[in-house]
Amino acid sequence: MAYPDKVLADDEKVVAHLHPHWITLVPATLWFFAICAAAGVGIAFAPEDGTGRTIVIGLIVVVGFALLCWLAFAPWIRWRTTHYVFTSHRVLIRTGVFKHVGRDIALQRINDVGFSQSLWDRIVKAGTLTIESAGEHGQQNLHNVPRSDSMQQTLNRLIEQDGERRSRLNYQQPAPGYQQPPPPGYQPAPPGYQPPPPQGYQGQPGYPPTQQYPPQ
């Protein structure tokens, strides 16, 4: 089962599952084409003799591959492994490849939700979402969130719906020590009352007959 479905509660639903905005991949994409172009130029101008050409091409391939891993592939992997998940119960944040970092924020603990956008963020429809919550780590900033202004409204709506859901649950659950009232017309039995024996019961030898009371 894929994330985040494997960590959801039975009645929990995913409202939005986001990665950082695609704009974060633009530098990695530019580096990819720049490195490939530089490697192609280097190979084209490599020495003509066999031994020297082999060494130069080998160095170009090794250095180019290392640069691609560092400047192009690593940012893409970080983007792919960064999750912003908004559910009906909480906000889940997961980051990291080798060092996995996660945080869950229950909707009932969120005090305030805000967002900030620069002019460029408004053009590409991204921004930073700030979540204020009770706890040791009070503020959480989610950077490069797609449609951050819309997600702020969505999160506020989820918080309101979660509060209504919890209110219904508290209303349906009886308080400690609560006893259900008796049905209409119920009269308690007098002290010492014993129910009459079933029809045809003769009693056991040596025992006095069961005392019966007239109906009230």
Q: What is the pLDDT of residue 173?
A: 61
Q: What are the φ and ψ backbone dihedral angles of 210, each rounded to 5 degrees? A: -70, 130
Domain span at residue 108 reads 14-170
Quick one: 82 exposed, middle or buried, by C-beta within 10 A (0-12, 13-18, 19+)? buried
- What is residue 215's predicted lDDT score, i.e. its pLDDT? 52
Q: Which residues contact 186 (CB under 8 A, 6 or more apart)?
A: none
175: in domain: no
Q: By percentage, how much of the chain surpasses pLDDT 70? A: 85
* Domain annotation covers residue 108: yes
How many domains, in total, are found in the chain? 1
Token duo for residue 189: 């039995």
CA distance 73 to 27: 11
The answer to whether 43 and 57 have CB atoms below 8 angstroms apart is yes
176 domain residue, yes or no: no
Asked if the structure places residue 135 within a domain, the reply is yes
- Identify whether 82 is part of a domain: yes
In a domain, 182, yes or no: no
DSSP letter for each residue of 81-108: T-EEEEESSEEEEEE-SSS-EEEEEEGG
List the CATH number of the domain containing 70: 2.30.29.30
The kind and range of the H/E element at 115 are strand 110-116
pLDDT digits (tens, 9 = 90+) for 193-212: 777 777 766 666 555 555 55
* pLDDT > 60? residue 80: yes
Q: State residue 209 phi and psi, 5-degree precision.
A: -65, 150
Token pair of 192, please? 């010492």
Q: In this predicted model, which residue has the larger pLDDT, 10 or 158? A: 158
Other residues' Cβ atoms within 10 Å of the Cβ of residue 116: 12
Residue 63 lies in a domain: yes
**Planar angle of CA 207, 212, 216, nearest 5 degrees:** 170
Distance, CA of 213 to CA of 216 (rounded, Å): 8
Residue 137 tokens, joined: 């780590």
Note whether residue 106 is domain-resident.
yes
Number of Cα atoms under 13 Å in the Cβ half of residue 137: 9
* pLDDT tens-digit map of 38-49: 999 999 988 887
Integer Cα distance of 66 and 54 in angstroms? 18
What is the C-alpha separation between 216 and 214, in angstroms, rounded? 6
